[in-house]
Copies of this chain bind each other. A is one copy, B any other.
Amino acid sequence: MELAGLSVREDAVGNIFGRWLAWWLKGEGGRKRWDGLEPELAAVATGSHIDAIPYSGKYDGVVGVLGAIEAIRVLKRSGFKPRRPLEVISFTSEEPTRFGIGCLGSRLLAGSEDLANSLKTSTDIQNISFLDAAGSAGYSKNEDDLSSVFLKKGTYSAFVELHIEQGPILEDEGISIGIVTAIAAPASLTVEFEGNGGHAGAALMPNRNDAGLAASELALAVERHVLDSGSIDTVGTVGILELHPGAINSIPSKSHLEIDTRDIDEERRNKVVEKIHQSAIKITKTRGVKLSDFRVINQDPPAISDEAVIKAVETATKELNLTSKLMISRAYHDSLFMARLSPMGMIFIPCYKGYSHKPEEFATIEDMSNGVKVLALTLAKLSSQ
Contact = CB atoms under 8 A, between A and B. Distances in A.
A214 to B, nearest CB: 10
Interface in A225-275: 226-227, 232, 234-253, 258-260, 262
A140 interface: no
A294 B203 CA distance: 25
Interface string A64-87: 000000000000000000000000
A130 interface: no
A323 interface: no
A246 B251 contact: no
A201 interface: yes
Contacts of A251: 237, 239, 357
A201 B358 contact: no
A357 B247 contact: yes
A242 B256 CA distance: 11
B253 A246 contact: no
A241 B212 contact: yes
Contacts of A330: 201-202, 204
A10 interface: no
Interface in A187-245: 188, 196-206, 210, 212-213, 215-217, 219-220, 223, 226-227, 232, 234-245
B260 A248 contact: yes
Contacts of A232: 204-206
Nearest to A189: B248
A357 B245 contact: yes
A301 interface: no
B220 A216 contact: yes
Contacts of A238: 212-213, 216, 243, 252
Nearest to A332: B201
B200 A260 contact: yes
A44 interface: no
Contact of A249 (B53, B201, B205, B219): B53
A167 interface: yes
Q: Which of A198, A210, A215 has the most CB of B within 10 A?
A: A198
Interface of A: 53-56, 95-97, 100, 102, 165-167, 184, 186, 188, 196-206, 210, 212-213, 215-217, 219-220, 223, 226-227, 232, 234-253, 258-260, 262, 329-332, 354-358
26 contacts: A53-B245, A54-B245, A96-B247, A96-B248, A102-B249, A167-B199, A188-B249, A198-B358, A199-B357, A201-B330, A201-B331, A201-B332, A204-B235, A205-B227, A206-B232, A213-B220, A213-B238, A215-B216, A237-B248, A238-B252, A239-B248, A239-B250, A239-B252, A240-B246, A242-B242, A250-B357
